[in-house]
Amino acid sequence: MDNIIRVSVSEAARLFGVSSKTIRQAIRNEEIKYIVVNARYKLNFISLVEWSQKSTRRANQLNNQGIGQYIQKWKIKNKKFSPHPMLALKPKDPEK
């Protein structure tokens, strides 16, 4: 995995609908993978998602107060602008 997405504590709190204190507690309990850059935590996004799904309460917070509340708005209603399912699965031609 070359493209690891990392977010700050405050960004994670906003995305997942929890407090910064909750995120920091998960860091202390080693529930979230992170690195330290310039004395700031940079959290692995995949580990944040996994952490959020381990608890029903946190999963509900993600869906109700975090980024999950916007998913219905993001769904494409006009099929004309949706990608064709077979085109999405088709490998791209490297010669083009």
Residue 96 has pLDDT above 90, yes or no: no
Q: Which amino acid is at 25?
A: Q
Q: Would residue 21 count as lying in a domain?
A: yes
Question: In total, how many domains does the chain have?
Answer: 1
Backbone angles phi, psi at 74, to 5 degrees: -80, -15
Domain that holds residue 63: 6-89
pLDDT confidence of 53, banded at 50, 70, 90? Answer: confident
Here the tokens at position 43 are 């959290």
Helix (H, G, I), strand (E, B) or coil at 41: strand
Q: Would residue 96 count as lying in a domain?
A: no
Other Cβ atoms within 10 Å of 66 Cβ, number = 20
Q: Would residue 49 count as lying in a domain?
A: yes
Here the tokens at position 32 are 């979230």
Q: Would residue 1 count as lying in a domain?
A: no
pLDDT of residue 19: 92
pTM: 0.66
Q: Would residue 95 count as lying in a domain?
A: no
Give the span between the Cα atoms of 58 and 10, in whole angstroms.
16
Q: Would residue 51 count as lying in a domain?
A: yes
- Residue among 66, 16, 7 nearest 41 (CA): 7
pLDDT of residue 79: 64
CB 5 within 8 A of CB 11: no
Per-residue pLDDT tens over the stretch 8-24: 999 999 988 899 999 99
Q: Would residue 94 count as lying in a domain?
A: no
Per-residue pLDDT tens over the stretch 62-88: 778 887 777 777 666 666 666 666 666
